[in-house]
Each structure stands twice: as C-alpha cells, then as structure tokens.
Chain A
C-alpha cells in the first residue's frame, strides 16, 4: 500500500478562486511593504554595525542585572535578549548582548568589549563568551549594497534564463512569483522581528532558487502541453499542467520541509532564523508557483500562432491526444 498524498488524476480548478487567491497575495504583499516601512527590519550587526556578544552562564540569565551592569559604561543602545534552545540544559543559560556601533570608530574597541565582559562577569562569575562579533559601519553599509545586488542580480539572471527557455510571458510570471516570495518573506521578518542578517540574504536567495524550481516544473509541463493540446484553452491547459505536476510539487515540498523541520528543531539556535526563513520561503514558494505564476501567464496570454482567440468551446479536454 503506497502513501498517496495527492490522489491520481486530480482535476482541481486552480483558477476558480483566482480572485480570492490572487487578491490575498496582493494584500499580503501590500501588508508586507507596510510592515516593512512601519516596523522596519531588526537588522543584525552585519547591516547596522555594532557588536554582538554571546554569553553563556551556569546561572539563569538576569537581563535586568546584565543591563544594570553595562549601563555605567555609557555605550548607547544596548539590547540584551535571552536565547532559548531545547538542547540547552539547566546549567546552560545563553543570552545575546548587542551594542550599537560607537561613534567615530570603525569597530568597537577591544577596551569596550573587555569592559563589558568584566562588568558581566561581576554579575555572574560563571559567565563565558562563546562568541564576540563586531562590524564597523563602513563594512555594514557595503554589505547591504552587495546583499541587494545579490538578490536583484539573481532575479535578473533567472528572468533572463526563463525568457531564453520559455516565452516571455512565463518569465514575467516566474518573476512575479519570485518577487511575491521575497516580499512576503521580508514582510514576515518585519512582522515578527527576527534578526535580519547576512544569512537571511542567503536564505532569500535560496527561496528564490527553490521557488523558481517549483515554478519551472509547472511551466515545463505547460510548454509540453501547449505542443500537445493545440486547441485547449490556456486556462484549462494551465490547470491541467498544474494538476499533472501537483503530486510532484507536494512530494518535493514535503521532503524539503521535513528536512528543514529537523533543522529548525534540532539544528541549534545559531541557524534557527536562517532555516526558519527558508522554511517559510518553501511554503510561499510552493503556493506562488501554483497560484501566482500561472495567473500572470493567463493574464498575459501566450501567443499560439494557430490560436486566434481563446475560445472556451473549442474542443474538449483530451480531444487532441497524440499517440
């Protein structure tokens, strides 16, 4: 007995609720943009400069005491957050201390870091510092630039590739799906204020790669069906293509999400934000390849030289199966 998540020969009309799904996508994108501007992203030191010190102690973390100990040093904004992970035992209490970039200095000076470390050790002598990271404002500015460049560059490269391999309408559809995924991911990061750092950019690009993979598989089938069913209306044809590849879409998303889930739960707190971003991206990427990319292609229409006007009554499904 085989596991069948998607039954054979599904005939789901993915366009029936097109208004709702497409509208929801647009609303979600607008919400993301609003969130982005209203709340901003919780930029990590990679993009904002500053220093992050990870502390580890045997006694429970007392954020207030930590803050009090550091306050006399007069370092401006200091953000202290406790870090949780199921793998930490009772005697492993982790926190992250974030110090803003100091005026006029490229990296936070060694003395400042040493002073913070001494102050914290005064609160809890068992405290150790597994990692200390410091990024100057000059580098962080450039990192933002190269990150934006990376995301835009990959979008353009993919657009170009799809355009070469398919019709331009498909390229636009794929691009719309990608933009949709990236915007929603950024929106989620603004909404729940997870630290947004270089690794998240890597996650965004992975999402781009994954989402396009998903979209291309549907498009590939649509291209094949376009040759096969020359008179089938585009709407039916796209639906058929999505249905034929649905099982594969669900399988691949399933295995990928399973592997990612293992990482989220067991992979440790250091990469959790990164993995979470990819997890979310796979979800929206799967959704967008079914509900966004195709809609755009349908709206733009694909020129078939034999096809003067999309006539819904022209031929029934499977009328033209070639043997």
Chain B
C-alpha cells in the first residue's frame, strides 16, 4: 500500500542533494565572492599570482552562484531617475528650424519673410511668415519636410505634425514619433548610465528601465547616492559652437538663434554663441586625459568621419575667428582657430586638474546623456547597517527555527523529527534556488524565510493531524498514513496556491526589498510543499519499512 517507486525515491534524494550542492557556496560567502571576483578579472585577460590565488579559494568544479544580497543588506545606493524626454523634442525642433527656414526662404516670393517666434513651448517650433494669406502654401512646403516613420504598426505616420495658426506655422513631433523618440532616448540613456557606472567599476550594479521613462539604478558598495549622481548625473553635453561675441553682461540680448552662456573658469565672462553647434559630442569616438604643450592637464578627443568632416570644413572656412567648446552649458574655452584642422582630432584645454581632466574624459567617452535626469527617489544604506541587519536576521532565524523544531518534536515525537529534517531540507532548497536564479535576498526577504519556517511545517501539520484522525477509524497504521496524505492533499494545495497568488502579486507590484520578500515567500511555499509531500513521506515510508510498527503514535 505504502509504496514509493525506486526511481521516485532516487529523484527525491537527487533533488535534495542537488539543493545542498547549490546552496553550499553560501556557507563560504566571502571566500566564494573573492574567488568569483578574481575569476571575472582573469577572464578580462589580466592575471597575476594574487588573482590566481584568490581564484583558487573555491574549486572550479563547484557551483559558485551566490545569493545576491540586496542593498539593504550589503549597503549601497538606490536611485530612481526620470528621463526628461521633452528635452529631446525641444532639441529636435531646434534642429528642424534651419531646415524649415531654408525651405520657406526658397519660396520667399510667395510666403514672404520668415521669422521664428521664440519663448513659447520649447517642444514646438513656431514660424511666422509675413504674407499671412499664404499660410496654406507655407503649410504645404513645411509638410513636405516630413518623413514617414517606420513602425511595426506600419500606419504610415509622419514624424512631424504641421498646423497653421493665422500667419504662424507650428511644427511639433507627431504622437508616433514622440513614442519612438522616447523609446530611443530611454534606451540610449540606459546604455550611457550603464557605461558610466561600469567605468567606475563597482560590483554588480543593477541598471534597468522601469515603466515608461524611468531608470532604476542600484549600486552596491558605494558610500552615497550622491556619488552615483555625480557619476551619472552630469549630462556631459559637449558641443562646438561658433562664437559671436564676448560680454560681461549676463542679461545682454543674444539676438535671434543665438544664446548666451557663462564661461566655466572666468568669473563674469559670458559668450554669445550661435545656437546650432558645428559638431556635438555624439560624434565623438574617443577621449583621453592628456597634457597640452605647456604640461597642463587636457583632454584629447577624436571625431567620427561625419564629425571630422564638419569640423574640418568649419575650421578651414573660419581661420582667425574664435569658436567655443561648450560642456553642459558652460564655455570651457574659446580658442581662435589657428589653422584648418583635418583628421577630426583635437585637444580641450582649460584650467583642469589631472582629476578633472580624467573625469571629463570618462564622461565624454561614455557619451552624452540624450536628456537630463530628474531623481525621484534616492536611498543610501550604509554597509554597517546592512551587516547589523544580516546578523540580527541570522540570530532570529536560528532561534525561530529552534523554537519551531522543539515545538514540533514535543507535539509529534518521531514524526516531528521527520518534519524537522524536511524543514532543514526546505531551507537548503530555498537557498539553492535563490543562488541558481541569482535572486536577491533583502531584509524583508529574511523575514519571508523565517515566516516560511513557521508556515512550512503547516503542510506537515495538516498531514499529521489527518493521520491522527485516520488512526481512530482506519485499519492499521499503514492505511492511516496513506489516507492522511491523500486527504490532506487538497487542503495543502488550496491553502498554498492562495498564498502563492499573493506572493505573485507582491512580486509584480512591489519593487526592491518588497520584491525580495515576495521571492522568498513564493519559493518557500513551493519548496515546503515539495518537502512535505515528498520528503517527509519518503522518510516515513523508509522508517515504516524498516520497523514495521504495529501501532504508531503521531
């Protein structure tokens, strides 16, 4: 009656052993982590005796996956940034203006003079024509500039929308183009944030898109969220713009299509620049810290072919006039063009320290953020606080486990011992699965594990209580055990599936620590059902086969 086939027994033991095998690295957390880090470095091609020794700390044939410790346990910074996608719309409109101007200027005889209306919504371009009655014609001309966008839905939408308002022609990005732009912007921002953080080299940062236009950044081990912001927050928007004039008055009117920007290192000096850059940072392919001919720190840079051509042409045509190197809306320097600069490489000098020039090179190399970031959420957790939490969690887990074990053995005797073995295997399995998945353990996650310990015995309790009942009526202990398992099953399943549903919803809706809790709670439910239905049962069956007791007491 009570029979479990051999292959099934083997399978159950294999799962348990496999769990132990994969959970084992967590017992030697520091050692495995050092070895893993060393191996990662060796893989990049570098190696030395120390690295080899570190890598040798943990045998290669053993699994080396560890449970990731969440920020609240390891310490570090958590930031949620919103990408200011509208800035890109504004930049696109800015770039649209010369095109619109030239197209309308070509038909000056019909539409008259063209002027740009400034100061309105930066995400739209407003153009006024002097022949107000020709608005319809102007509209046609500007519409001709639209290009169809490729999209999966194929709807044949154009990238811009043009409408007339009296003598004004208003150009905006179309809905479809905005969506496409947003997506591109976020991807680009994501990639750049990732590269900038990688440049500083921290362990396993998490950088992911969240929702429509947000980026979640988690960097373990850094001192504060502020540091991370410094690395990524700088827009590092590099442009080369023609200089119109130099002034000491910040409020001077720059004139149409110009802008006024302060100098980086000269107090009270402002430059009036043409707004359309000759070349921008996006066309940069490399930037390295260097020193100029006077031995001062500087940054060497090189453009891609397009940038190089534009830069070469401009310098050839404007020898003797100054042009400005602008970084993040500040003029770093405004040298006079001495000669034609072909080849597309150059040097930025300014009053840099070596550190500043290195940092600038990093920022330039990583590329410009396509739009600014606004930080909606910042959290810094110190490593000591995390260590305290781990220590407290460990003690609480051990004490909790002991209390549950004592309670179970007092109540169910030998069967309580079986449940204890199952509970231990359950804990091992949770850690094994967390390690295999590379899931993150958070402080609420530890609470989830402790809670699971309390609830994990539930399935066993259900079965045992049922066996007790069946013992009163059934014929013999073997039959009672069988019936106990059989009849308790539906309650076990119903109870655990509903809990699993809540864990799932928590996982979907929650973030950070809460998600960590959902993971351990959900895994705990799955493993506890496995251990209660298969492991304890196997233990009982083995015991029963050896002893063949006439009566049992549960």
User: Residues on A close to B: CB < 8 A?
Assistant: 2-5, 8, 54, 87, 106-107, 110, 113, 128-136, 138-139, 146-147, 149-150, 153-154, 157-158, 161-162, 165, 198-199, 201-202, 205-206, 208-210, 212-214, 216-217, 219-221, 224, 244-245, 247-248, 251-252, 254-263, 265-268, 270-271, 274-275, 278
Contacts and interface: CB of A to CB of B under 8 A. Distances in A.
A150 B509 contact: yes
B184 interface: no
Given A150-B509, A251-B411, A259-B400, A212 B455 contact: no
27 contacts: A2-B411, A135-B376, A150-B506, A154-B501, A158-B502, A199-B444, A201-B510, A202-B444, A209-B501, A209-B503, A212-B495, A251-B457, A251-B461, A252-B454, A252-B455, A255-B404, A255-B454, A255-B457, A258-B407, A259-B451, A267-B447, A268-B388, A268-B393, A271-B443, A271-B444, A271-B447, A274-B447
Nearest to B374: A106
Interface string B317-349: 000000000000000000000000000000000
Contacts of B397: 262
B380 interface: yes
Nearest to A323: B473
Contacts of A129: 382
Interface string B494-522: 11111101110110011011100110010
B80 interface: yes
Nearest to A266: B396
Contacts of A205: 502, 505-506
B505 A150 contact: yes
Contacts of A150: 505-506, 509-510
Contacts of B284: none
Contacts of A266: 392, 395-396, 399
A274 to B, nearest CB: 6
B86 interface: no
A4 B506 contact: no
For chain B, give the interface size range. Answer: 35 or more
B377 A134 contact: yes
B521 A206 contact: yes
A208 B502 contact: yes
A266 B398 CA distance: 10
Contacts, number: 232
Contact of B396 (A135, A147, A267): A267
A150 B518 CA distance: 12
A139 B381 CA distance: 19
B495 A107 contact: no
B451 A252 contact: no
Given A149-B509, A266-B396, A267-B446, 16 more contacts: A2-B410, A8-B468, A134-B378, A136-B376, A136-B377, A138-B376, A139-B80, A162-B498, A202-B518, A209-B499, A217-B462, A220-B494, A251-B461, A251-B465, A259-B401, A259-B451
Interface string B51-63: 0000000000000
Contact of A255 (B380, B408, B495): B408
A174 to B, nearest CB: 9
Contacts of A245: 465
Contacts of A8: 468
Contacts of A130: 381-382, 384-385
